C-alpha cells in the first residue's frame, strides 16, 4: 500500500501505539511547518503541521491588517519549527517573551492563531477536544447571539424579529453612526427609536446588546447610557475606547445595565488594569487577538476572581468560533458567545464555507452544542481554503468623518 491511504494507516498505527504508552514516555513530535492562507471575506488562517503529518488550524487576524499579521506569523514560525509540538505553554512563552517588544494587536494576534493551531494539533494527537485537556466541560451547550443592522443600523426591528424566528434568543446591534465629541440629541433619539423598535418586535424576554463600538466619547457616552436605561438591555458594549477606560467609572454611575468591553485588549496585563478598576461587568477577549486559548483561559480566570462574566468577542471565521467554544465549554463565568453567521461583513463568504461539516455549528433554541471532535472539533475543507487563498482579500474598514470634516471613530 502506498500514497495517502498508507500514510493514514501509518498515522493510525502510531496513535494506537501512543495510546498504550504512559504519557511521559511518549516520544516528542516536532513541528514541521507553518503555513498561512488569506481567505475572503476578511480572514487569515494558519496551518501547523507536525513531522507525522497531523495538522492543526488557527485563525490569526487583525481585521483590516491581515497581511501585517501574516508577516508576523512568518517571522514567529522560526521560533517553533523543529520544537516539541506538545509544549504549548513553553512555546507561548517563547513567542511572547522571545521579543524585546511585545504585546499589541499584531503580535498577539499572530501568537493567538499559532496557539489555536497547537491546541488543535494536540487534541487530534490525543483524540480529545481541547476543553477536555483544560479541565473538562462545565456546561452542555453555549448560548449564542446574532448581529443585526450593520455599521449604519436600519430596519433593526424586522431584522431582530427574523433572528428570533431563526431560533436566536439574543441579538447585538451598533448604536450609532458618526458621533462628534459633543453631538446632537437628534442622534441620541435615533438610537432610542431603533432600540425601541427592536424591543417592540421581540418582546421583553429577548436579549438586546447595544454596541457603542468606541464611536462615542465620554460626554455623549454618558448621555446615551443613561437614556438607554428603560430598555432592560443585556449589556452595552465598548461605551468608550479602551484607551479611555477610566471613563467607565462615570458611565457606570448612570447606566442601569451591565457594561462589556475588552475586544481591543490583548493580554492578561491589559486586563489587569481594567479589572482592577471595578467598573466592567463583562469582558470580551477575542481568541484571535488576545493570545489564543492559552492566554484567554487565564484572562477568564482573572475575571472570575473579580466576579466578572465572560462573553468572547468573535465576529470572525469558523476556527476562531471553534476556539471560543472550547474556552466557553470549560469556563464557569462564560455566559454567551458572539458568532458571525450572516454578519454584515460576510459578503463573499460566510462562516460555514470552509468547514467540511457545517452541522458542527448547528444552532438550536439560541444555543450551540459543544464540539465533541478532537482538537477544536471541526474539520477544515482545505481544498476550499487553498482555492479561496488564490484570490485572498484586501478588506479595510471605512474611514468616517464628521460633518465638519474631522475624522470620526468607526
Q: Verify whether residue 393 is a known catalytic residue.
A: no
- Residue 386's nearest CA partner among 26, 39, 33 is 39
**66: which residues sit within 8 A by CB, 6+ positions away?**
38, 42, 43, 44, 393, 395
Per the residue annotation, which of 217, 289, 313, 393 is the catalytic one? 313
Residue whose entry in the numeric block shows the C-alpha cell 427609536 = 193
The answer to whether 292 touches 112, Cβ cutoff 8 Å, is yes
- Residue 48's nearest CA partner among 83, 13, 17, 96 is 83
Cell of 134: 483544560
Max alpha carbon distance in the chain (Å)? Answer: 74
**102: which residues sit within 8 A by CB, 6+ positions away?**
96
Find the Cα–Cα–Cα–Cα dihedral 125, 128, 132, 138, rounded to 10°: 160
Phi, psi of 87 (to 5 degrees): -90, 65
- Residue 265's nearest CA partner among 257, 278, 274 is 274
Rg of the Cα atoms in the chain: 22
Please list the residues that pair with 380 across neighbouring strands.
Answer: 355
Tell me if residue 46 falls in helix, strand or coil: strand
Instruction: Give the N- to C-terminal CA distance of the chain in Å, as an integer.
Output: 58
How many helices (H) does the chain have, and how many strands (E)?
13, 15
What distance lies between CA 316 and its chain's CA centroid?
6
How are strands ordered across the β-sheet holding 55-58?
31-39, 43-50, 55-58
15 secondary structure, DSSP code:
H
**337: which residues sit within 8 A by CB, 6+ positions away?**
142, 143, 144, 145, 311, 312, 314, 321, 324, 325, 328, 368
Residue whose entry in the numeric block shows the C-alpha cell 461587568 = 281
Q: Verify whether residue 313 is a known catalytic residue.
A: yes
- Residue 221's nearest CA partner among 248, 243, 196 is 248
Per the residue annotation, which of 213, 217, 289, 393 is the catalytic one? 213
Q: Among all residues, which ones are annotated catalytic? A: 213, 313
Amino acid at each position: 500500500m502506498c500514497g495517502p491511504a498508507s500514510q493514514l494507516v501509518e498515522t493510525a498505527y502510531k496513535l494506537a501505539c501512543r495510546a498504550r504508552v504512559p504519557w511521559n514516555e511518549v516520544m516528542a513530535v516536532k513541528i514541521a511547518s507553518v503555513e498561512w492562507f488569506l481567505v475572503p471575506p476578511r480572514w487569515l488562517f494558519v496551518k501547523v503541521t507536525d513531522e507525522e503529518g497531523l495538522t492543526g488550524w488557527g485563525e490569526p487576524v487583525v481585521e483590516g491588517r491581515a497581511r501585517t499579521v501574516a508577516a508576523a506569523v512568518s517571522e514567529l514560525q522560526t521560533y517553533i519549527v523543529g520544537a516539541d509540538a506538545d509544549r504549548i505553554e513553553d512555546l507561548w512563552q517563547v513567542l511572547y517573551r522571545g521579543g524585546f517588544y511585545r504585546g499589541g494587536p499584531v503580535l498577539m494576534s499572530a501568537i493567538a492563531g499559532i496557539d489555536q493551531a497547537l491546541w488543535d494539533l494536540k487534541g487530534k494527537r490525543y483524540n480529545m477536544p481541547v476543553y477536555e485537556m483544560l479541565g473538562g466541560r462545565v456546561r452542555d451547550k453555549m448560548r449564542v447571539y446574532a448581529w443585526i443592522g450593520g455599521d449604519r443600523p436600519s430596519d433593526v426591528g424586522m431584522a431582530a424579529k427574523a433572528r428570533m424566528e431563526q431560533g436566536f434568543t439574543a441579538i447585538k446591534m451598533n448604536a450609532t453612526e458618526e458621533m462628534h465629541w459633543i453631538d446632537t440629541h437628534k442622534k441620541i433619539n435615533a438610537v432610542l427609536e431603533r432600540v425601541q423598535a427592536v424591543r417592540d418586535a421581540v418582546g421583553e424576554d429577548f436579549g438586546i446588546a447595544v454596541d457603542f463600538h468606541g464611536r462615542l466619547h465620554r460626554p455623549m457616552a454618558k448621555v446615551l447610557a443613561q437614556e438607554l436605561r428603560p430598555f432592560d438591555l443585556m449589556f452595552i458594549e465598548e461605551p468608550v475606547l479602551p484607551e479611555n477606560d477610566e471613563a467607565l467609572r462615570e458611565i457606570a454611575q448612570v447606566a442601569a445595565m451591565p457594561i462589556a468591553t475588552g475586544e481591543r485588549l490583548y493580554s492578561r496585563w491589559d486586563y489587569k488594569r481594567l479589572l482592577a478598576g471595578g467598573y466592567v461587568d463583562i469582558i470580551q477577549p477575542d481568541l484571535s487577538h488576545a493570545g489564543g486559548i492559552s492566554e484567554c483561559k487565564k484572562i477568564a480566570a482573572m475575571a472570575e476572581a473579580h466576579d466578572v462574566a465572560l462573553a468572547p468577542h468573535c465576529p470572525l471565521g469558523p476556527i476562531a468560533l471553534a476556539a471560543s467554544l472550547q474556552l466557553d465549554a470549560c469556563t464557569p463565568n462564560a455566559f454567551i458567545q458572539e458568532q458571525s453567521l450572516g454578519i454584515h461583513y460576510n459578503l463573499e463568504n460566510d462562516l460555514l464555507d470552509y468547514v467540511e461539516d457545517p452541522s458542527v455549528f448547528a444552532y438550536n433554541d439560541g444555543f450551540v452544542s459543544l464540539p465533541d471532535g478532537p482538537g477544536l472539533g471541526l474539520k477544515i475543507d482545505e481544498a476550499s481554503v487553498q482555492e479561496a487563498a488564490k484570490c485572498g482579500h484586501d478588506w479595510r474598514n471605512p474611514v468616517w468623518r464628521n460633518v465638519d470634516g474631522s475624522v470620526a471613530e468607526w
